[in-house]
A and B are shown apart, each in its own frame.
Chain A
């Protein structure tokens, strides 16, 4: 089955840039979505289809996807960006939705 690998944690100082990676074999051929989950809340979409951004999400959030790695980049990080971030793809070969293990973003 298809596996997505994320770092368990990323820490960044306020105002700096955070990059969260999502690794998978030839993930660049798939469409990757990213979700943010704040403590005690349901997840919400921050990036869809590699680079799409919902209208309510600040332009500080961006995505990329190539080769074996997809990335979520958060520029000018704010304290409110803290939470868990999950990548997700649809594995059409296995007809399965697959989530990465999640990355906890800590703002120092």
Chain B
């Protein structure tokens, strides 16, 4: 089964850019069949989808975040990444990466990383 692991800074200053990477293992030959997503969860709150990227680089973003978000994929390194610009305290959350079935087939998030807690503070 796939394993996903988030990495990146756990502390970001206000107005700066949050950058996280998700490394996929345990079945990278299956990467071409998946899409890849970022989902976040503010402390004590529910899940919020950030966006999704296909292996071909097609992206889908949450409308409320799309002006600040970039998600990219590097299939040669079995990784995909998240960039979120101009962060504020409202962006403090645990960020999860997940594999996603083709959205045209209902887009199930079937494998999840353990999450990366990101704090926004100067």
Contacts and interface: CB of A to CB of B under 8 A. Distances in A.
Contacts of B110: 45, 48
B103 A102 contact: no
A99 B50 CA distance: 11
Interface stretch (A9-17, A20-28, A72-80, A89-97): A89-97
Q: What band does the interface of chain B fall in when counting residues whose beta carbon is under 8 Å from A?
A: 20 to 34
Interface in A42-74: 42-45, 48-49
Contacts of B49: 96-99
Nearest to B46: A102
Interface residues of A, number: 28
A102 B104 CA distance: 24
B106 A42 contact: no
A106 to B, nearest CB: 16
Output the residue of A33, A89, A100 with the most chain B CB within 10 A. A33
A41 B49 CA distance: 17
A33 B47 CA distance: 13
Interface string B94-113: 00100010011011111011
A90 B106 contact: yes
A30 B113 CA distance: 26
Contacts of B63: 1, 94, 96
B58 to A, nearest CB: 10
A99 B48 contact: yes
Given A41-B114, A48-B106, A102-B46, 9 more contacts: A30-B106, A42-B114, A48-B108, A48-B110, A90-B107, A95-B60, A96-B63, A97-B62, A99-B47
